[in-house]
Structure 1
């Protein structure tokens, strides 16, 4: 490590970045919280991105042999290799539960087309539904210019209508504030039977906007996350279309 590297790393000692990059904060079990307010990042649009790919160790035997014979195939993007016929079909989705200061509660997610709104309540908007682990992933936007109206937001990831396979994916949720370093939460724990994971809580604590790592895997779906965190919504079976049999409502 050069002198310049040591200098820049020294400026980031308040956080456990987990890498040489100085523009990122990795939330871990040991260092699980960061204040957006203290970072001067509690305004503008907060971008929350889910990006994932299949673990390379799960590439099938024939493909692994092919890589040994043709090493340049390893230069293919991870999402190309991660969705070959030898891989299990996995569809990770990003969503969030929200609670506003006026008591309004609900969910933003692809199921049921509950995509939210960025300029009106709940001031949370989901952009797109990535079913293939592409480079862009899935993104939620939170309008922090209305942070006084937001009480808490629980960001979660779930596997929609496929074989549980969190243990076969490498997923990361990254928060991009309008100012300061990005915040990263990795989902690398092995929970092969889990279908959902509460990833991060964004909470207004006495006027200070806090980001707290959760990473709690559950074996059910959003309803189980609701019960775990006491949201109190009504849940039913939903589908990825413009209509749903049932969906989360107000508490």
Structure 2
């Protein structure tokens, strides 16, 4: 059994995904912040998951008329319907800018193959690149046993190529702490031309590890998010390897 199999199945006590949480905390404009420390959830591995699907109201477009003539198409499995339409070209990627206590900064993301490391600096690991918004989505793991070495993390989502289509997807970023309820942030605002979105900021302020909803859409790429949050990284045009596409 591979490393990621052990991680997902939760058979190793070193990798608790927190998937047993029975309830959820939804971060909204009115309820933006939660403390992992105060919930006793600032240890172990924090799992950050991105999943998405096409908005039901947008699936079909011209197909709606055909559905009236062929109503049994409604019983076609959703994944088959989605993958037969051009809108499936939407490809959302999950990334994380990090700043550590020692001043080092960087990014973990599929673009450029920056997948990170979990048990050594930067204590952040991307599990892979999901091209179609499958049930498992994309996942980043953060080793909070090294929380004292983490200053701040910006979790973001971007569209690598194809047409900007945040307005045609229903995306959600979910944080699964090692203890307590999961934390959900929905990207439901309509920004049809946006290519990137700062989703959540995780900060270590005097030992208190907090999670704050951002959901700020920008029309550029990671460099624009960098300027917005003052990260100070140097950015260049990046490409995914064929294995990541």
Report the TM-score, using the length of structure 2 for normalisation: 0.86
Say which is worse superposed, 69-78 or 220-229, in terms of deviation: 69-78
What is the rounded CA distance, in whole Å, between the counterparts of 1:172 and 1:113 in structure 2?
A: 23
Say which is worse superposed, 82-91 or 227-236, in terms of deviation: 82-91
Aligned-pair distance for 1:89? 1.6
Aligned-pair distance for 1:169? 0.5
8 A Cα contact 2:50 2:171, kept in partner: yes
Matching residue of 2:36: 36
Aligned-pair distance for 1:58? 1.5
Matching residue of 1:158: 158
What is the rounded CA distance, in whole Å, between the counterparts of 1:93 and 1:43 in structure 2?
A: 26
Matching residue of 1:112: 112
Aligned-pair distance for 1:161? 1.4
What is the rounded CA distance, in whole Å, between the counterparts of 1:215 and 1:68 in structure 2?
A: 37
- Structure 2 residues without counterparts, runs of 5 or longer: 1-20
Q: Deviations over 1:24-68 (max 9, x none)?
A: 010000000000011110000000000001111112345324444
Aligned-pair distance for 1:72? 5.5
Matching residue of 1:196: 196
8 A Cα contact 2:27 2:213, kept in partner: yes
Aligned-pair distance for 1:241? 1.6
Matching residue of 2:94: 94
Matching residue of 1:183: 183
8 A Cα contact 1:53 1:78, kept in partner: no
8 A Cα contact 1:53 1:79, kept in partner: no
Q: Is residue 84 from structure 1 mapped to residue 84 from structure 2 by the alignment?
A: yes
Report the TM-score, using the length of structure 1 for normalisation: 0.84
8 A Cα contact 1:185 1:199, kept in partner: yes
What is the rounded CA distance, in whole Å, between the counterparts of 1:72 and 1:177 in structure 2?
A: 42
CA gap 1:181/1:72 in 2 versus in 1, 3 angstroms: farther
CA gap 1:209/1:117 in 2 versus in 1, 3 angstroms: same
What's the C-alpha RMSD, in Å, of the aligned pairs?
A: 1.9
Alignment of 1:1-251 (within 5 A): 23-68=23-68, 73-74=73-74, 76=76, 78-87=78-87, 89-241=89-241
Q: Deviations over 1:75-103 (max 9, x none)?
A: 55544333322426210000010000000
What is the rounded CA distance, in whole Å, between the counterparts of 1:86 and 1:96 in structure 2?
A: 29
8 A Cα contact 2:82 2:88, kept in partner: no
CA gap 1:55/1:104 in 2 versus in 1, 3 angstroms: same
8 A Cα contact 1:27 1:185, kept in partner: yes
- Structure 1 residues without counterparts, runs of 5 or longer: 1-20, 244-251
Matching residue of 1:18: none
